[in-house]
A and B are shown apart, each in its own frame.
Chain A
Amino acid sequence: MLVDRLLRQGAMTELVGPLSSGRTSVLTLCLRAVTRRGALAALVDVDHAFDPGSAAAAGVELRRLLWVCGEGRRRDALQALDLLARCPGFALVALDVGESPPRLPLDAAFRLRQAARRSGVAVLVLGARRVVGGAASLSVRTRHDRLAWVGPGPMPRRLAGMRTGLHVVRKQGAPWPAETERLWWTA
């Protein structure tokens, strides 16, 4: 299963990609899988961009999600991630750094990895470019692949879905196929 390959207990995963590449959909998929198993998840949302309505429609059990809005304060968001990564009991702690990722020194990134390893929390960081670098055991780049529209006549009536390509940038013992993996998302 994709989520089991993306998230590993006590390890960090990085998900990078441009706007409309499907990275938030991958995050929502991970939140759905974790919360529907009965476990707790936390999301540190720097740009206050998380949409509870579409997440609930995607099947995320919102009552098991702790949402921390950073209101654009990236340094505070990193501190919040550090606090949550040190709290055993969360199955997933995600950080959405948005379009302007902060600079994270390498030693801080490795300290974060150590904290996740000790507490057994899976950490997922997503943004427009890589933040944690070599501290991530898996880095995956998302790419906008194609769109599907439906409706009779020349003008489409409805957005039907989007296809995302997942390409591994870095992996450290993580099982992942060599070729690009493609996923369809329904609108």
Chain B
Amino acid sequence: MVDGVSRFACVRVEAFAAASLERCEPGLREQPLAVVTGAPPATRVLDANARARAEGVRPGLADAEAVVRCPGLVRRSVSAEAETAARHALLEACLSVSPRLEDAAPGLVHVDLDGLGRVFGDESELGRRLRRHAHAVGLEACVGIAGSRADAGVAARLGSPVHVLSPGAERAALAAVPLATLEWPAALAATFARWGLATLGDLAALPRAGVGARLGPAGLAAHDRAAGVDRTPFRAWTPPPFWAEAQGLDWEITTVPALVPVLERVLARLCARLAGAQLLIDVLEMRLALGSGGLHARSVALAAPLGEAAPIVSLLALEIEAHPPPAAVTGVALSARVVPRRAAPGGLWQPPAPAPRDLATVLTRLTLLVGGANVGTPVVVDSHRPDDYTLAPFDGHAGAGDAVPGRDDDPAQPHPIAGSLALRRLRPPRPVEVDTHDGRPTRVRNTSGLAAAVEISAGPWRLSGHWWDTDAWAHDEWDVALSDHTLWRLSHNRLNNQWFLTALYD
């Protein structure tokens, strides 16, 4: 991989609507399959797998004509939920290789390869890895790698499983690619044919302004695609906060033994996706679509987060036996609440961290009790302003088992220094009246009139900040021991000449 040059991979699943159904029913891969839409007699082929295409079945063909061309054709109605699940599965598979990817279209993902060479090896290995991850979630993909998303998209259509275009050689390599390799709007394709354009090189050689003047925005986009120029920004995809898989059934299921294999398949797909994202299932929600039109929803909380399908299927079967659906089942949907898989166990001699679900429950209850702004991990802000901190969300596994070496005290000393003197903060600081002599505090009175003499004082410690801003502050801090045997930190605001008790040594 060449440093300083953008490199993209295009991961493409051909005939995606058919592939998403094959993912749900793997047995369909061995048969010619057509995805059809519309009510008879207007039913038309929407998509077809490679075996059906080899028999002459094409998208747009009438259902009856498709059956005539391929007598053994298996037809399935288009399934929006299977397609959505497959689309997410492909994105998540790519996400386990690169953190930056773009959801270009159903079955088409652009992956930013910047910096991945040092992690995974050369670009061919990266392409093979992307294919392996897509295969793991049940999708067969082709990968093209080039310097722009447009060129990578063309490379992914050239037929080989992984096609790498060397940096700087894309134009020469793609100039001879026929225009018919890419999908064009029918009017545009007709115009290109009328102009005598046969290859991408022919189209790219035309002046862009001239193409734009004659064909409008569609012509400009086609010219950019042929020239391998990306004019749209890279829209990075972020994974959704929920994980779901679903499968519609063409038949009704009335018994648990018949339902279990379906649940097993759906759950296996979900677990494969979660494994790629290093997540485990904590709670599984099952929704069964019923033949009566209703919905039977059950929730199964696992005793410990799991990533394997087999034990969860047993739990689902037990749940269904205990609470059977009131009618025949026509569809299955599973959605998981997930917890991150721990990268490594804690140390052998370290106390175990709280179970993720226990900790999440406790944190939720604490948040309800005292408010979200009052629960978290303190983080000291890198600032000169005293008592500058923020609260970050508490992570029970932050550095778990990562002990800091060193002794906590020194037993060799007769009177060891136990540690540092701690402060107790007054929030907000308490205003006080202070008598001074030669600039040093001698007596402190609070707002209710209680007074104490200052026995010893040390200071001032001068602090200031943000003098360039409206939020400017300037303090003199004093450590004072009062006659009531308390030890305070006094602060003198030099901007408005006010005194405050800010903290107590304790």
**Which residues on A are within 8 Å of B, measured CB to CB?**
1-3, 18-29, 32-33, 36-40, 47-59, 61-71, 73, 76-77, 79-80, 83-84, 87-91, 144, 147, 149, 151, 155-159, 161-162, 164, 182-187
State whether the Cβ of B445 lies closer than 8 Å to any Cβ in chain A. no
Residues on B with beta carbons closer than 8 Å to the beta carbon of A40: 351, 353-354, 396, 400
Q: Which residue in B395, B419, B504 is a CB contact (below 8 Å) of A19?
A: B504
Residue of B nearest to A161 (CB): B421
In the complex, B423 has a CB within 8 A of chain A: yes
Contact partners of B352 in chain A: CB under 8 A: 88-89
In the complex, are the beta carbons of B424 and A49 less than 8 A apart? Answer: yes
- Decide yes or no: A159 and B354 within 8 Å by CB, A51-B422, A54-B423, A67-B376 being known contacts: no
**In the complex, which residues of chain B have a beta carbon less than 8 angstroms from the beta carbon of A162?**
421, 487, 505
Q: Considering only CB atoms and an 8 Å cut-off, how many residues of chain B contact the other chain?
A: 68
- Closest partner residue, chain B, to A96 (CB atom): B424
Number of A-B contacts (CB under 8 A): 221
Tell me the complex Cα distance, A80–B487, Å: 30
Interchain CB contact under 8 A, B350 and A53: no
> Which residues of chain A are near B403, meaning CB under 8 Å?
36-38
Please report which residues of chain B, range 390-424, place their CB below 8 angstroms from some CB of chain A when the two chains form the complex. Answer: 391, 394-396, 398-404, 406, 408-409, 415-424
Which residues from chain B contact A52 at a C-beta distance below 8 Å? 378-380, 389
Q: Provided the pairs A38-B402, A39-B350 are in contact, do residues A183 and B418 lie with their beta carbons within 8 angstroms?
A: yes
| 8 Å CB contact of A27 from B359, B408, B422, B457 | B422
Closest approach, in angstroms, between the C-beta of A38 and any C-beta of chain B?
A: 4
Residue contact A70 to B370, C-beta cutoff 8 Å: yes
Q: B374 touching A71 by the CB < 8 A rule?
A: yes
Point out the residue from B353, B404, B419, B485 that lies within 8 Å of A61, measured CB to CB: B404
Q: In angstroms, how far is the closest chain B Cβ from the Cβ of A186? A: 6
B355 interface hit (Cβ, 8 Å)? yes
Q: List 21 A-B contacts (CB under 8 A).
A: A24-B506, A25-B418, A25-B419, A25-B506, A32-B408, A37-B403, A38-B401, A40-B353, A48-B425, A50-B378, A53-B386, A53-B388, A53-B389, A58-B420, A65-B378, A66-B376, A69-B370, A89-B355, A89-B358, A156-B457, A185-B418
- B498 CB contacts on chain A under 8 angstroms: none
B371 to chain A: closest residue by CB: A71
Cβ of B456 within 8 Å of any chain A Cβ, yes or no, is yes
Closest chain-B Cβ to A31's Cβ sits at a distance in Å of 10
CA A132 – CA B445 in complex, angstroms? Answer: 34
Q: How far is the CB of B169 from chain A (nearest CB, A)?
A: 49
Known: A68-B370, A73-B370, A89-B352. A51 touches B387 (CB 8 A): yes
4 shortest A-B CB distances, which residue pairs?
A: A89-B354, A52-B378, A58-B420, A24-B506
Interface residues of B in 338-354 (CB under 8 A from A): 346-347, 350-354
- B176 close to A (CB within 8 Å): no
- CB of B370 within 8 A of CB of A54, answer no
Residue of A nearest to B487 (CB): A20
In the complex, what residues of B have CB within 8 A of residue A67's CB? Answer: 375-378, 391
Closest B residue to A43 by CB, please name it: B378
Which of the residues A3, A23, A149 comes within 8 Å of B458, measured between beta carbons? A149
Question: Which stretch, B32-40, B49-57, B238-246, B361-369, touches the partner chain A?
Answer: B361-369
Query: Contacts A20-B485, A84-B362, A149-B458: A63 and B398 contacting too (C-beta < 8 A)?
Result: yes
* CB contact list, B458-506 vs A, under 8 A: 458, 479, 481, 485-487, 503-506
Does B486 contact A63, Cβ atoms closer than 8 Å?
no
Measured between beta carbons, the chain A residues less than 8 angstroms from B346 are 38
Residues of B within 8 A of A25 (CB): 418-422, 506
The yes or no answer to B188 lying at the interface (CB within 8 A) is: no
With a cutoff of 8 Å between Cβ atoms, the chain B residues found around residue A90 in the complex are 354
Complex contacts, B457 vs chain A, CB 8 Å: 156
Q: How far is the CA of A27 from the CA of B506 in the complex (A)?
A: 10
Contact flag A182-B415 (CB < 8 Å), given A36-B404, A58-B422, A187-B505? yes
Q: Given A53-B387, A83-B362, A159-B487, A36–B406 Cβ distance below 8 Å?
A: yes
Closest to B503 in A: A51
Question: Which residue on chain A has the smallest CB distance to residue B506?
Answer: A24
**Is B370 in contact with A48, judged by CB distance below 8 angstroms?**
no
State in angstroms the CA–CA spacing of A1 and B407 once bound together: 10
Specify which chain A residues have a CB less than 8 angstroms from the CB of B355 in the assembled complex: 88-89
A128 to B353, CA, bound (A): 32
Query: In the complex, which residue of chain B has the Cβ closest to the Cβ of A184?
Result: B417
B366 close to A62 (CB less than 8 A): no
Q: How far is the CA of A164 from the CA of B505 in the complex (A)?
A: 12
Give the residue name and chain of the B residue nearest to A91 (CB): B351
Complex Cα distance, B377 from A52, in Å, reads 10
- Cα A171 to Cα B383 in complex, Å, equals 44
Residues of A within 8 A of B415 (CB): 182, 184
- Asked if B422 and A69 make an inter-chain contact with CB atoms under 8 angstroms apart, the answer reads no
A169 to B174 Cα, complex, angstroms: 86
Q: Does B194 contact A (CB under 8 A)?
A: no
Question: How far apart are the CA atoms of A57 and B380 in the complex, in Å?
Answer: 10
Known: A55-B422, A80-B370, A182-B415. 5 other contacts (CB 8 A): A2-B418, A59-B420, A61-B404, A68-B375, A159-B487
Contact partner of B418 among A24, A29, A88, A156, CB < 8 A? A29
Of B416, B458, B481, the residue contacting A157 (CB under 8 A) is B458
- When distances are taken between beta carbons in the complex, the residues of chain A under 8 Å from B388 are 53
Q: Is the CB of A19 within 8 A of B486?
A: yes
Residues A20 and B389 in contact in the complex (CB < 8 Å), given A40-B353, A54-B423: no
Q: A25-B418, A68-B366 are in contact. Are A38 and B425 (CB under 8 A)?
A: no
Of chain A, the residue at the smallest CB distance from B419 is A29
Cβ contact within 8 Å between A149 and B456: yes
Q: How far is the CA of A55 from the CA of B504 in the complex (A)?
A: 14
Which of A54, A83, A161 has most chain B Cβ within 10 Å? Answer: A54
A33 near B408 with CB under 8 A, answer yes
Q: Check A39 against B351 for contact (C-beta < 8 Å).
A: yes
Cβ of B297 under 8 Å from chain A: no
Q: Once the chains are docked, how many angstroms separate the CA of A65 from the CA of B392?
A: 11
